[in-house]
Amino acid sequence: MIDWLELTNFRGFGKSTRLELKPFTVLVGRNSAGKSTPVAALLALKQTLEDPTFGAAFPFLRLSGSQIDLGAFADVVHGHSRNRQIQFSFGFDRDESKQKLLNHFPIRSRYLHRFGRRVFIDYDYAYPLASRRPAPQLRTLTLAYAAIPNFGSTLARMTVESDGDLVSNFRRTARGWNCDATHIPASIFKVEASQRSALFPTIQRERKLSTMPVNLARRVRGAEDSIWRAVRETSSYLQSMSFVGPFRTPPQRRYAFSGALGLEAGGSGEQTSEMLIADSLSEGQLVRQVQFWLQRLSLAEKLTVRPEGPGSSVFELSVSGAGFRGNASIADVGYGVSQVLPVIVQGLLAQPGGTFVVQQPELHLHPDAQATLVDFFIFLVARGVRCIVETHSEYFLVRLRRRVAERGVKGLLRDFSRAVGYSTKTQSASATLDREQVAVTFVETSQRLSTMRQVAINELYQLENLPANFMSEAMDDRIAIAKRIGKLS
C-alpha cells in the first residue's frame, strides 16, 4: 500500500514536497497554488505505465498521452531548467502485519502481469528452503527523469530502499546502466529498456543464486524481492486509479450508442452516457445506483435511459423530480446533473483497493449538494476505494469535519443496499470515518515555490494550520454586515 507521494522539481515544486495519501485525501488551496500538480504527476506516470514503448531506447516519462497533456520536459521541470531532474518518490506501508512473506516456498519464476504480458523481472529461485527468510520491508521507490536531446524526458535513476539499509540504485550513464546495490557486486544485475513498459526498466540477475555464497544470495534475493514489490505495488496503484477532471462534457439532448463497453467514464466524463446506456440494456444496476445518489444529492428523483424508438441506437437521458413535473432531458435541467454524473458513475465503478481521483466535484452544484458529496466519498471509502479530491468548496470541508465528528454516516450502506435491491443481511449499516482515514492538505506558494502542508482535524474537529484568511470570506462578510447593522441602529 502506498502511503505518500513526494515531488521534486516538478512544475512549481522545486523542493521535495510530500503528499500524505490516506483513504480520504483532500487537496485545498488558492487558484494556481499547485493543487493539481500531484494529480498531474500520477496521471503522467499512469499513462507511461499503460503505454508500451515497443522498443524505445530508454524508459521515459510520457508527458502527453491519453490521460493528460503536460507538454514537453521544459514545460514541467521546475524553473523550465532542462539541467534539473524531475523526481517522483513513493512511500510504502511498513506495517509488519500487512507485509506478505514472499519466500515460503521455492519459486521458479514470478512476473508482473498487465493484460497478459510480462512487464518486469524474471526470478529463478532454487535455493534451499531452510535458508529462506521473510523479505525485507519495502520503504521507498524513487524515479528520476532527465532531459536527453531528441529523446525527451527519460529515466535517469531508479532507487528502491528497504529496511536493513538495503538500497538498490540503478543509474543510467553514457555507457549504459550502473547497478549499485548495498553489499552486492555491480555485475549481479543487468538493466535494459523494457520492450513492454515505458515506466520501469527490465532488471535481470546474471548469476544463479545457487552459485553464490549464502550471505550474498540472501542479499540478492532481498534486493530482488524489494524491487519486485516496489514495481508491483506502484503498477497496481497506477493501473487501478480512475480520474474525473474539472472540465466535463456538456449535456446533450441525444446520445448515439456505439456499443463500446468500458470501466472508465473518461477524464472529462465523455464515456458516461455510453456506460449508462449499456447498463440500461442489461440489468440496470448502475442506473439504480446513480439514481440513489441523485436523490441523496436532491438533484432528481429518477434517472431514465431510453431509446428514441424501438431498435434505435440513439438514446435520451432524462430525470424527473428535479423541481418540476414529469421527465426532462438532462440538457434542460441546468448543468448540475450532467456535471456530477461522471463523478458518481466513475466512483461507483471504482474497484475496492483502487484510487478515485476527482478535481472539483462540486462544479455547478448548490451548497447542499456540495456538502452531501462528502457522503458519497465516505461511501466509496467504506467500500475500500481510496479517494483523492481537489476542491474549492468550503461547504465540502465543513461537512467533512462534521462527518469525522459523527464517525461517518449512519445507515448509509443499508439505505444504499435497499434502494438498489441488494441484500442487507451482510451489509454493515453505517459508513464509518475517523480522523486517521482523512488527510487534508493545503497547497500554497511562497517565493515562487509550491509547498504542501498537512492540515490536521483536531479533537474539536477544527482544521488546524490553515492560513488565517483562507476560506474566511463568509465569516468576514457576516461580521461586516453585523457592524453595519450596529451603525444603522
Tracing cell 466524463 back to the chain, one arrives at: 269
pLDDT over 80 at 324, yes or no: no
Please write the tens of the pLDDT for every residue from 37-91: 999 999 999 999 987 665 566 788 999 988 999 999 999 999 999 999 999 999 9
Residue whose C-alpha is closest to residue 2's, from 240, 164, 169: 240
Spell out the alpha helix ranges (H) of 323-366.
Answer: 335-349
Mean pLDDT over residues 282-305, rounded? 93
Residue 113 has pLDDT above 60, yes or no: no
Closest to 171 in 3D by CA, of 87, 232, 228: 87
Q: Are 209 and 189 in contact (CB under 8 A)?
A: no
pLDDT at 231: 92
Residue with cell 456499443: 259
Mean of the per-residue pLDDT values of the chain: 85
Residue 313 pLDDT greater than 90, yes or no: yes
Residue 227, C-alpha cell as written in the block: 524491487
Inter-residue contact 443 to 29 (CB < 8 Å): yes
User: Cα–Cα distance between 353 and 256 in angstroms, integer?
Assistant: 33
Residue with cell 524474471: 122
Q: Distance between CA 459 and CA 70 in Å, rounded?
A: 41
User: Which of the two residues, 468 and 429, has the higher pLDDT score?
Assistant: 429
Using the predicted structure, report yes or no on whether residue 121 has a pLDDT greater than 50. Answer: no
Which residue's entry shows cell 508500451? 52
For residues 256, 257, 263, 267, the Cα torsion angle rounded to the nearest 10 degrees is -10
Task: Report the alpha-carbon distance of residue 78 to residue 68 in Å, rounded.
Answer: 18
Q: Is the pLDDT of residue 123 over 80?
A: no
Rounded CA separation 285/160 (Å):
43
Residue 125 has pLDDT above 70, yes or no: no
Residue 366 pLDDT level (bands cut at 50, 70, 90) = very high
Cα distance between residue 33 and residue 309, in whole Å: 50
Is residue 396 within 8 Å of residue 362, measured between CB atoms? yes
**CA torsion, points 400, 406, 408, 413, in degrees to nearest 10?**
-130
Per the model's pLDDT, the better-predicted residue between 437 and 187 turns out to be: 437
Rounded Cα gap, residues 48 and 43, in angstroms: 8
What pLDDT sits at residue 421?
82
- Check residue 65 and give left, alpha or beta (phi > 0: left; psi -120 to 50: alpha): beta
367 pLDDT band (50/70/90 cuts)? very high
pLDDT tens figures, 229-278: 999 999 999 999 999 999 999 999 999 998 877 778 899 999 999 999 99
The DSSP H or E segment spanning 274 is helix 272-280
Secondary structure letter of residue 230 according to DSSP: H
Distance CA 343, CA 267 (A): 10
Alpha-carbon dihedral 289, 293, 295, 299, rounded to 10 degrees? -130
Residue 411 zone, left/alpha/beta (φ > 0; ψ -120 to 50; rest) = left
Give percent of the chain above pLDDT 90.
58
- Which pLDDT does position 54 carry in this prediction? 54
Element (H, E) at 205: strand 202-205
The pLDDT tens digits of the residues spanning 133-153 come to: 566 788 999 999 999 877 778
- Tell me: the pLDDT tens digits for 376-410? 999 999 999 999 999 999 999 999 999 999 999 99
**Distance, CA of 356 to CA of 388 (rounded, Å):** 6
Kindly give the residue spans of alpha helices, DSSP state H, lying in 56-205: 73-76
17/75 Cα distance (integer angstroms) = 19
